[in-house]
Chains A and B, each alone.
Chain A
Amino acid sequence: MRCLILFAIAAALAAQAPETKSGNAPSGNAQHGQKIFADYGCYQCHGREAQGGLGTGAPKLGPRPIVWAAFTRYVRQPTGQMPPYTSKVVSDQDLADIYAFLQSRVAPPPAKSIPLLNN
């Protein structure tokens, strides 16, 4: 029941998140980023495709992630429910790789073009 409320929080965060600029993101390896996105547990809340997780309060992260500075700030010192990923457990380069993975996500087709979503 509270999951629905958490979802609403996630939706609000996603709606507020600036998604258009990557800022000064360092270059990263998207393939490695995908691997550690799973290994480090990011997928647990955000989904394996970073599509966001229902009932977890975790917003969609790709294909247009929030700007790099905001991304790293939140990952290191989250103000919501997300567990903190300090530099002791995730290096800056790992974060850059994850960020590259998020940027590499492909936008889905418009929902209106998917018949199953228009029943």
Chain B
Amino acid sequence: MARSKKTSVGRRNFLKGAVGGAAALAAGGGAKAQQAQAQTQAQVQRSGAAPVLAKEADPPALSGAEVLVEDLSGSDFMVDVMKSLGFEYLCANPGSSFRGFHESIVNYGKNHAPEFITCCHEESSIAMAHGYSKIEGKPLAVAVHGTVGLQHAAMAIYNAFCDRAPVYIVAGNSIDVTQRRPGVEWDHSVQDAASIVRDFTKWDDLPISLPHFAESAVRAYKIATTPPMLPVLIVADGDLQERPMPPSERPRIPKLTLSGPPQGDSAAVNEAARLLVAAENPVIIADRTARTAAGLKLMIELAETLQSPVIEQSGRMNFPSRHPLNHTERSRALIANADVILGLEVADLWGTVNAYRDQLHRSSRPILKPGTKVISVTALDLYMKSNYQDFQRYPEVDISMAADSEATLPSLIEACKRLINGDKKRAFEDRGMKLAAAHAEAHERVKTEASYAWDASPISTARMAAELWAQIKDKDWSLVSNSGGWPMRLWNFDKYHQHIGGSGGAGVGYGAPAALGAALANKKYGRLSVNIQNDGDLMYAPGVLWTSAHHRIPLLSVMHNNRAYHQEVMHLQRMANRHQRDITTASIGTTLLDPNIDFATVARGMGVHGEGPITDPKDLGPAIKRAIEVVERGEPALVDVVTQPR
């Protein structure tokens, strides 16, 4: 790369010259020369060069004053690229391998778009980006060490991968061995940084020049946001970050044009419509179907066009919970009675249409009756990897569209409408009335089920959901955690931002940071972000509480504190029963007792409003109300509730 005169000495060359000058002075002998050598070595060390270089450098002739400063560097340009991509925030735990990039964000970029969000763990950084993406529909940037940071981040990246969520990762690294500081920088350098997460990222690159960085950074964004949306990673070499960049040599940033999402083949769409319109008992199953608010509207339009029941698997906010065609409560019976099943981005279609039994001899059987036609529309078929097995068991289907469901819905709806004549319309209206009645009955059953253990202590999860709903129902709320079941059964979900689905890979530790990331996205809309927070999950990286307080991110967290990794309690119980051994030991290694964790105190210790532990259900409503007052002032709050297991 050509350089201007002022900065024509590259990082490598000016260090070499500086050391050489010191060596020449030292050769002249005397205290003055030794002092000069010591000063120069100190300068070299401050500049990040290895002292050992001083011994190996050739002694060139003395030159003018050593260049120790620069106006612009490669990392400034990297920030320009990030700004061009529209990132609002960058989440990171600080790391020396991206120190140039970090400084450029806060000074050159004025810590705005992206704004640096200080995280206490790389897993939290990634999960925040994961949660953010599901509210905002676009990636948030994350910076990590290419080695130790990426190792910390790996599980969260896997969750995002399984959840088909775009996350944009910039990993610092030091490629050139002659430029590394001795010691830790070697420990924090890696030949192929992305390799550790390549099995569960969609694309990565290691740019070796700034034009290369710009092109790959833009390409990465485009790839991440093309369905199926997935994490991507760009390695930012330390030398590339810190190398001076004269303004005249600023590379061009390529234009970003997002790809249109892939739609289903028209012939397959028409055949699917024919089956759906002809069906007597169609069932629509939605999982990660709606990517945007428009997707939710399209789902309603399809269901109402067909007067078909919808089973919500809650990977995203796909269908209103109180819509008369929401029949999630009746899913098993509906699937068993269906003559046509339409699966839209269903992550586990096989598991949906088969019953599985986890006993000593594992067994399964189809739920579907013979002859039922199964239609699948999923972008999962467009991108699959082999090592990690999140693709689930192979589902047998009759029509398979490797396509994005939300993009395919308009043509499917139109194709259905074209086939619906007057007789069909009347038949559909009759079906709709019956379904509406069944929905109402199911909702009454839910309320009755919720009434059991109503006054129990530990507090029932149904009571907790009901108490929470009473406080938020008249506000613009957003449930930024997995629904945990009861909210989706009791609350009135009818807006896209009201639910963000689950973790994807079921890696524990997702909940708290993902909720915070979603709350960060909700902040500018003034929404009340509500997080039902599992205790075991929060204990993975509780520093996320500090991040919420430091950045004034309004978030209400209500602890579902069952004092256990309860899923594992049940697994251990199953093993003990199977072996007919001591069945009273399932709590060993699976519970969070003795001492009980005082989450309110933990929260307060990190600057978050904390109340609890609450064990009497009568105390819960007032505590939630007080916490909401805090959140509505723009700050986070936590209410610790000791709950029943599920």
State the A residues within 8 Å of B (CB): 1-5, 7-9, 11-12, 39-41, 43-45, 47-49, 51-56, 60, 78, 80-81, 83-86, 88-90, 108-112, 114, 116-119
B358 located at the interface, meaning its Cβ lies under 8 Å from any Cβ of chain A in the complex: yes
With contact pairs A4-B331, A39-B584, A89-B577 given, residues A47 and B451 touching in the complex (Cβ less than 8 Å): no
Contacting residues, chain B, for A43 (C-beta < 8 A): 645
Instruction: Please tell me if B466 contacts chain A, counting CB pairs below 8 Å.
Output: yes
* Docked pose: A89 CA to B357 CA in angstroms: 22
Q: Is the CB of A44 within 8 A of B586?
A: yes
Chain B window 475-507, contacts with chain A (Cβ cutoff 8 Å), 1 for yes, 0 for no: 000000000111000100000000000100000
For the complex, is B644 an interface residue (Cβ under 8 Å from A)?
Answer: yes
Chain B min CB distance to A39 (Å): 5
- How far is B452's CA from A108's CA once the two chains are assembled, in angstroms? 6
- Which residue of chain B lies nearest to A36 when distances are taken between CB atoms in the complex? B584
Q: Are B453 and A4 in contact (CB under 8 A)?
A: no
Task: Judge whether B376 is part of the interface by a CB distance below 8 angstroms.
Answer: no
Closest residue of B by beta carbon distance from A83: B577
Residue of B449, B463, B566, B584 near A52 (CB, 8 A) is: B449
Chain B proximity of A60: nearest CB distance (Å): 6
B330 near A8: Cβ-Cβ < 8 Å = yes
Q: A49, A54, A55, A90 — which one has the most chain B CB atoms within 10 A of its CB?
A: A54
Stretch at the interface among B93-101, B110-118, B216-224, B454-462: B454-462
B interface vs A, CB < 8 Å? 287, 311-315, 328-333, 347-348, 351-352, 355, 357-359, 444-445, 447-454, 456, 458, 460-463, 466-467, 469-470, 473, 484-486, 490, 502, 566, 569-570, 573-574, 576-578, 580-584, 586, 644-646
Q: Is the CB of B329 within 8 A of A8?
A: yes
Cross-chain contact A1 with B314 (CB below 8 angstroms) = yes
B453 touches A51 (CB 8 A): yes
| Residues in B neighbouring A84, C-beta threshold 8 A | 359, 577-578
**In the complex the two chains form, what is the Cα distance from A78 to B359 in whole Å?**
10
In the A-B complex, the 6 residue pairs with the smallest Cβ-Cβ separation, listed nearest first, are: A83-B577, A51-B452, A111-B447, A51-B453, A8-B332, A49-B453
Q: Whose C-beta in chain B lies nearest to the C-beta of A44? A: B570
> Apart from A2-B351, A47-B452, what 8 extra A-B contacts exist at CB < 8 Å?
A7-B485, A55-B485, A56-B570, A60-B449, A85-B583, A116-B467, A118-B447, A119-B466
Could you pull out 13 A-B pairs where Cβ atoms are within 8 angstroms? A1-B314, A1-B502, A5-B352, A12-B333, A41-B573, A44-B586, A49-B460, A51-B460, A54-B461, A86-B580, A108-B452, A110-B451, A116-B467
Q: Which residues of A contact B644 (CB under 8 A)?
A: 47-49, 51
Cα separation A44 to B460 with both chains bound (whole Å): 13
Tell me the nearest residue of chain A to B584, going by C-beta. Answer: A39
| Closest A residue by C-beta to B360 | A84
Residues of A within 8 Å of B581, CB to CB, are 89
- Residues of A contacting B485 in the complex (Cβ-Cβ under 8 angstroms): 3-4, 7, 54-55
A-side contacts of B358, CB under 8 Å: 81
Residues of A within 8 A of B470 (CB): 116, 119
Closest beta carbon of chain B to A83's beta carbon, Å: 4
B467 & A9 in contact (Cβ 8 Å cutoff) = no
A90 and B583 form a contact (CB under 8 A): yes
Give complex CA distance A52, B484 in Å: 15
Minimum distance in angstroms from B286 CB to a CB of chain A: 10
The answer on a CB contact under 8 Å between A55 and B646 is yes
Bound-complex Cα distance A21 to B637 (A): 48
Contacts known (A41-B586, A54-B485, A56-B646); A11 close to B313, Cβ less than 8 A: no
Q: Which residue of A lies closest to B327 (CB)?
A: A8
**Complex Cα distance A85/B357, Å?**
16
